[in-house]
């Protein structure tokens, strides 16, 4: 596989209403990394104060349960997100909450991307279908 071919890059922003992160999600992400399914490019956190102001929070300053080893994620900073991304995400979380933003490469797709390039093919569209939209469509097709 060509090392300069990347899989699709996605991000998830997850709100933690109590401002505290548990280990379950971190463990699941680590499992995906270890299996070569994704590569974490960025892991950032934003806290929104009760007055509505938002600020970035260093990984080491995140409140978390004992089963979280935050040191594993130190250095996951691609800087692909800019201030407008942070502002948008911060506007969507409740005051007193914390949001984690995970930017990741879908490594599993890189060989497919390389094959597309080798065969002079090209991707002419891409996007994401929300799970709720799929469930709605499937429910509608069952009723039809």
pTM of the full predicted structure? 0.83
Q: What is the pLDDT of residue 75?
A: 76
Q: What are the 10-residue block averages of pLDDT along the chain, 144 residues in total?
A: 79 87 84 94 91 87 75 78 90 92 93 92 87 90 83
Q: What is the pLDDT of residue 3?
A: 65
How do residues 11-49 score in pLDDT, each as one tens digit?
999 998 877 787 788 889 889 999 999 999 999 999 998
SS3 readout for the chain: CCCCCCCCEEEEEEEECCCEECHHHHHHHHHHHHCCCCEEEEEEEEEECCCCCEEEECHHHCEECCCCCHHHHCCCECCCCCHHHHHHHHHCCCCCCEEEEEEEECHHHHHHHHHHHHCCCCCCCCCCCCHHHHHHHHHHHHHC
The domains of the chain are located at: 9-143
Q: What is the pLDDT of residue 130?
A: 84
Q: What is the pLDDT of residue 2?
A: 55
């Amino acid at each position: 596989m060509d090392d300069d071919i990347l899989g699709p890059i996605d991000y998830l922003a997850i709100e933690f209403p109590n401002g505290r992160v548990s280990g379950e999600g971190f463990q699941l992400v680590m499992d995906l990394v270890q299996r070569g399914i994704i590569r974490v490019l960025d892991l950032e956190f934003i806290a929104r104060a009760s007055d509505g102001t938002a600020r970035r929070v260093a990984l080491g300053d995140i409140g978390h349960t004992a089963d979280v080893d935050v040191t594993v994620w130190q250095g996951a900073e691609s800087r692909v997100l800019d201030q407008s991304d942070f502002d948008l995400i911060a506007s969507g979380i409740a005051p007193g909450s914390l949001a984690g933003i995970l930017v990741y490469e879908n490594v599993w797709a890189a060989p497919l991307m390389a094959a597309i390039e080798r065969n002079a093919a090209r991707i002419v569209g891409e996007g994401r279908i929300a799970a709720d939209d799929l469930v709605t469509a499937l429910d509608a097709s069952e009723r039809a």
